[in-house]
């Protein structure tokens, strides 16, 4: 079976870097689970694969999560917290002029997290039991963006603006993972920033 295209991108990127050092404990297992799915797809997510990636015994994975479904749900929640937390978005929003660059760093600093999430979203189309965790993932992004936008001074229905902004960011991250250059992504994100400014000030930033 051919590897998914997104997985091949992660494998090629990771091959030039040293093997990750996960440390110990539950969070280390979640990081390992994210990397396994990013590299091999959800079908490659087994207790054995996670344990090998983290350098621990299989039984430790079962001890922390009980079932594979619980591991998947926990990994989704952990990945969203790691990739774009509400507090970091609020800080980016309050910085005003650095909003675009701050968002760019938050979104692109760990492509493996984003690949994992896209793998899970695609799999949810085939596996209804993943719809709940994936829906929760999306809502966590919208909630975090809503908080950041309020701090930024956006007016009107902030949640609708946040969902629209997330749709733009989600697409740009997917393009970046697929190979679009960072400068092009940054330029597009700046246009998104200008649209957000319209909801705050009524006029675009000069």
What's the CATH number where 131 sits? 1.10.357.10
In a domain, 140, yes or no: yes
Please tell me which residue, 11 or 200, carries the higher pLDDT value: 200
| Residue range of the domain that includes 71 | 5-201
Mean pLDDT of the chain: 79
State the Cα–Cα distance between residues 126 and 129, nearest whole angstrom. 9
DSSP secondary-structure letter at 186?
A: H
The reported pLDDT for the residue numbered 141 is 84
Using the predicted structure, report yes or no on whether residue 37 has a pLDDT greater than 90: yes
In our burial notation (b when 16+ CB lie closer than 10 A, e otherwise), range 96-106 reads eeebbebbbeb
In a domain, 206, yes or no: no
The reported pLDDT for the residue numbered 33 is 96
How many structural domains is the chain composed of?
1
The reported pLDDT for the residue numbered 58 is 87
In a domain, 136, yes or no: yes
Which candidate, 92, 80, 97, places its Cα nearest to that of 173? 80
Other C-beta atoms closer than 10 Å to the C-beta of 48 total 11
pLDDT digits (tens, 9 = 90+) for 76-116: 888 878 766 655 666 665 665 566 677 777 777 788 888 99
State the Cα–Cα distance between residues 76 and 33, nearest whole angstrom. 10
């Amino acid at each position: 079976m051919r590897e998914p295209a997104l997985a091949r991108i992660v494998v090629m990127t990771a091959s030039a870097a040293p093997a990750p050092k996960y440390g110990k404990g539950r969070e280390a297992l979640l990081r390992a689970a994210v990397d396994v799915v990013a590299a091999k797809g959800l079908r490659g997510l087994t207790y054995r694969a996670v344990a090998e990636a983290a350098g621990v015994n299989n039984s430790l994975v079962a001890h922390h999560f009980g079932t594979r479904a619980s591991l998947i749900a926990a990994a989704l929640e952990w990945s969203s917290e790691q990739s774009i937390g509400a507090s970091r978005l609020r800080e980016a929003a309050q910085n005003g002029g650095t909003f675009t660059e701050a968002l760019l760093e938050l979104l692109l600093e760990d492509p493996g997290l984003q690949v994992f999430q896209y793998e899970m979203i695609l799999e949810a189309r085939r596996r209804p039991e993943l719809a709940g965790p994936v829906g929760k993932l999306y809502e966590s992004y919208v909630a975090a963006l809503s908080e950041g936008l309020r701090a930024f001074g956006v007016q009107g229905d902030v949640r609708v603006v946040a969902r629209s902004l997330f749709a733009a960011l989600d697409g740009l991250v997917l393009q970046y993972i697929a190979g679009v250059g960072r400068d092009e992504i940054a330029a597009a994100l700046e246009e998104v920033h200008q649209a957000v400014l319209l909801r705050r000030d009524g006029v675009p930033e000069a």
